[in-house]
Amino acid sequence: MKEFLISQSAEQLTQWCENEGFPKFRARQLLQWIREKLLIEPEKMLNLPETLRQKVKEHFFAPSMSVAEVASSADGVSKLLLELHDGEHIEMAIIPAGDGRVTFCLSTQVGCPVGCRFCASGKNGLKRNLLTGEILEEFLLGCQYLGKRCDNIVFMGIGEGLLNCNELFPALEMLTAPEGFALAPRRITVSTSGYVPGMLKFAGLQKEYNLAVSLHAPDEETRSKIIPDTLRFPIQEILSAVDNYREKAGRMVTLEYTLLAGINDSDAQAEALGRLAYAHHAKVNLIPYNSTGTTFRRPSRERIESFERAARATGAVVTRRIERGSGKNAACGQLRIKAEEKLS
Ligand code: SAH
Ligand code: SF4
């Protein structure tokens, strides 16, 4: 398979240029196009000789994917459905905040093996991992669509990123390297369903990336109704890994909690959640369920508010995900499932 132009290091590109008979400074020019001008299509790199542009196109994916569909909602969120080189699809979302900052929500896998029962991404299992170059191209296509770099990145799209550390971690490195895309690690959040081995590896990086853990329940019994057994870790092990992350990375962890009516939305569960969060110095982020055509329901506004109050009364820091992209297909993974259904 071809290599990805976007994931080449300066050394690799210099070596490649030399091997192909081009002077070293051409590698520097290529890198400028990619990392400063956010372009990877060789045909747009006008200060390069035609022969080099041709060679780049033959040798590398530049890019490997294309935008198959754009879905925009009234609140300003745009979702890009991306078609990969092998015909698979993923999604990325561009989420503007009121203050002019923009957050990208990126995918890490095609599908997801965890299979949380409310989530569209895990509906048909895992197709394959995304490669480092593909994760970086998602970011780049988002920047091209937006016309500038984003301010924050959350890995909360399709997939369980910490089951794909080998490809995700080099992408994080390239996104944050000063000679790469130069984003501050504090502006990047990786969300996990609580895959403990991956959480420990992530802590081992000892970088100030943010970690979000999708807890969804304060007790094992409730959690087992939401997340299937295969890749579900015990809550106690997850919370130890949360402590470990805070100590190693020096960042407060966020506990995500998707609110499902009648399943995990009682005041007693809110208090139990608040106590856990407080004890482990973690923040709570409440996410009201976006319907994905499952039997789950979003709790009423009153119930959500009551839950929030009860959790907060424990002293824990509680926020609620701003409801954005809550129109049709708002939940991540839905555009992709629709595209798959259309194809089959
Ligand atoms: N696999 C990782 C990251 C992707 S999911 C994880 O599970 O954390 C990112 C977040 O979106 C998770 O907290 C997940 O619970 C939430 N989510 C997924 N589908 C949702 C839906 N339909 N409604 C509300 N939240 C959803
Ligand atoms: Fe996978 Fe996260 Fe969806 Fe669960 S919520 S199926 S872990 S993407």
Burial classification of residue 85, based on how many CB atoms lie within 10 Å of its CB (0-12 exposed, 13-18 middle, 19 or more buried): middle
| pLDDT confidence of residue 202 | 98
The yes-or-no answer to whether 3-61 and 66-343 have a common fold is no
Superfamily of domain 66-343: Aldolase class I (3.20.20.70)
| pLDDT confidence of residue 336 | 79
> Rounded CA gap, 135 and 139, in Å?
7
Atom of ligand 1 at shortest range from CA of 290? 23
Domain ranges of the chain: 3-61, 66-343
Size (the chain), residues: 344
> Rounded CA gap, 190 and 212, in Å?
6
Radius of gyration of the chain (CA): 21
Best residue among 193, 230, 259, 289 to mutate for probing ligand 2, ranked by most atoms within 8 Å of CB: 193
Residues 6+ apart with CB under 8 A from 55: 20, 22
| pLDDT confidence of residue 97 | 87
Residues 6+ apart with CB under 8 A from 276: 215, 218, 235, 239, 255, 282
The structure's pTM equals 0.96
> Rounded CA gap, 215 and 213, in Å?
6
Ligand nearest the Cα atom of residue 255 = 1
> Which of 35, 41, 31 is CA-nearest to residue 65?
41
pLDDT values of the chain reduced to their tens digit, one per residue, 344 residues? 899 999 999 999 999 999 999 999 999 999 999 999 999 999 999 999 999 999 999 999 999 999 999 999 888 899 999 999 999 999 999 999 888 999 999 999 999 999 999 999 988 899 999 999 999 999 999 999 999 999 999 999 999 999 999 999 999 999 999 999 999 999 999 999 999 999 999 999 999 999 999 999 999 999 999 999 999 999 999 999 999 999 999 999 999 999 999 999 999 999 999 999 999 999 999 999 998 888 999 999 999 999 999 999 999 999 997 655 555 556 666 777 777 766 55
Would you say domain 3-61 falls under CATH 1.50.10.100?
Answer: no
> How many angstroms does the Cα of residue 116 sit away from the middle of ligand 1?
8
> How many angstroms does the Cα of residue 193 sit away from the middle of ligand 2?
6
| pLDDT confidence of residue 74 | 83
| pLDDT confidence of residue 343 | 58
| pLDDT confidence of residue 328 | 53
Residue 334 Cα distances to 119, 296, 327, angstroms: 9, 15, 12
Atom of ligand 2 at shortest range from CA of 120? 3
Residues 6+ apart with CB under 8 A from 265: 259, 299, 303, 304, 307
Burial classification of residue 1, based on how many CB atoms lie within 10 Å of its CB (0-12 exposed, 13-18 middle, 19 or more buried): exposed
> Rounded CA gap, 275 and 263, in Å?
19
